[in-house]
Every structure is written in structure tokens, then in C-alpha cells.
Amino acid sequence: DVVMTQSPLSLPVTLGQPASISCRSSQSLVYSDGNTYLIWFQQRPGQSPRRLIYKVSNRDSGVPDRFSGSGSGTDFTLKISRVEAEDVGVYYCMQGTHWPRTFGQGTKVEIK
Amino acid sequence: EVQLVESGGGLVQPGRSLRLSCTASGFTFGDCPMSWFRQAPGKGLEWVAFIRSKGFGGTTEYAASVKGRFTISRDDSKSIAYLQMNSLKTDDTGVYHCSRNYGFDYWGQGTLVTVSS
């Protein structure tokens, strides 16, 4: 199975400051069609997961532009340019290239 | 508007069975592959099962932890995806979510399954 490793697992951030979460996969996530199926989800307390970013860097409709995704191959990053109070929650990366689909452990973002 | 509504969760004893439903609306369900996920209390997300659309054979994939015990199926006439869960274990406790396999863009609110004696 592809192991997805996120860091850090806990991220205290000051409001208005940037935040960055790393996600590394144990194998390349480039699929045979040339796409890289790396997704970022946000899960606010008590809520279902919400997709933020798909195929590494494509932001979903309604997602603030302070969120951005980047990376390639096995190394990916989610950045929040200026953290706001509503960004508190757990962030997961997930790979959709290989079976079984696998998630990172989750990164808990909290306000300092 | 795309909506996914899970139902069928509850308290069940180890070794027993439960069937979850994911009722979809707002899109052409028959064309859409679907997945089930779960989240144990206080833990991370885990993919559980996947079913292709009938147009792609309706074939399925399972996580190793549920293979042979869980069965995913679909009724396109009712726009429902099912997860039949047999031989339940305490480790199967958690909130179960369904999602469209179009990049997992929409998720249901989840249904809680508690396996306990």
C-alpha cells in the first residue's frame, strides 16, 4: 500500500500568519494518464470532510484563495497564506492513484 | 444541488450484520462511481470500498481490512449505494461516509456504526 506521511501532525498558528503542511507518498502518484491524483481535505470539528484541492493544485469552487497546493511525484504541500479562525480543523492528504486509496494521518491546525 | 445522505447506522453486536445506504440526488447517479469511507472515533479517515458505474462493469474494490466481510452495491433506479457489513468487529466502529468518486468532491454527513456487546 502507498503510505502517505504528513508533517507536522500538530500545527499551532497565529492568526494572519502562514501555515504549511507537507505530505509525502511512498510511491509516485503520477497515474498512467499523466495526472497526479493527490487531494487535500479539510475537516472542521464535528463536520464531514470537505475537499479543498484536487490533482495537486486545483482549488475547489468556494475555497478561499489563501489555500494553495503544490508538489509533484511524491512530495506535496498545502499552504495557507494567512490563517483565519475558520481554518481550524484537521487537514488530510489522500492519494487517488493507487489501490487501496490511502490518507495521511492528518494535521491538526489550531490557533495559538 | 448534489446531496448524499447516509443512513442505516446503529448499535450492533460483534459478529452481526448491518446495511448502510447512501441516497444520492442532484446528479446522474448511474454514471457515477461511488466510495465508502469511515472514521473511527478520534481517528483519521480510511477508505473502505468502491464501486464503478454499470457502464464500467460495476466492479468493486475493497480495503484489506473489510475484504470478504463487506459488500458494496448500487441500485441505480433508486440512486442508492449500499454497504453490506457482515461479521462486524469492534474495530469497525466509526462514522461511515459515502462520496462521489469524481475526485471525492461531495461527501455525506455520515452515519454512526457502533459495534459493541
* Cβ <8 Å between B103 and A94: no
Q: Report, as an integer, the average pLDDT of B78-105.
A: 96
Asked if residues B30 and B53 have their Cβ atoms less than 8 Å apart, the reply is: yes
Say whether pLDDT at A67 is over 90: yes
Q: One-letter amino acid identity for B68? A: G
- Model confidence over B50-81: pLDDT tens digits? 999 999 999 999 999 999 999 999 999 999 99
For chain A, how many helices (H) and strands (E)? 0, 11
Mean per-residue pLDDT, B96-116: 95
Identify all chain A residues contacting B108, using CB atoms and an 8 Å cutoff.
48
Confidence of residue A94 (pLDDT cuts 50, 70, 90): very high
DSSP state at residue B54: G
Indicate the pLDDT class of residue B105, thresholds 50, 70 and 90: very high
Specify the DSSP class assigned to residue A17: S
Count of Cβ atoms closer than 10 Å to residue B12 Cβ = 18
The phi and psi torsions of B91 (rounded to 5 degrees) equal -65, -10
Give tens-digit pLDDT for A27-60: 999 999 999 999 999 999 999 999 999 999 999 9
State how far the Cα of B116 lies from the Cα of B15, in Å rounded to an integer.
Answer: 10
| Per-residue pLDDT at B102 | 85
pLDDT score of B49: 98
Could you tell me the maximum CA-CA distance found in chain A, to the nearest angstrom? Answer: 43
Q: How far apart are CA A17 and CA A80, in angstroms?
A: 8
Of A39, A48, A99, the CB nearest to B110: A48
Give mean pLDDT, residues B88-112: 95
A5-22, pLDDT tens digit by residue? 999 999 999 999 999 999
Residue A34 C-alpha, separation from nearest chain B C-alpha, in angstroms? 16
How do residues B6-61 score in pLDDT, each as one tens digit?
A: 999 999 999 999 999 999 999 999 999 999 999 999 999 999 999 999 999 999 99
Looking at residue B101, what is its pLDDT?
87
Rg of chain A in Å (alpha carbons): 13
Contacts of A102 in chain B (CB under 8 A): 47
Q: Residue B104 in contact with residue B1, Cβ under 8 Å?
A: no
pLDDT value at residue B111? 98
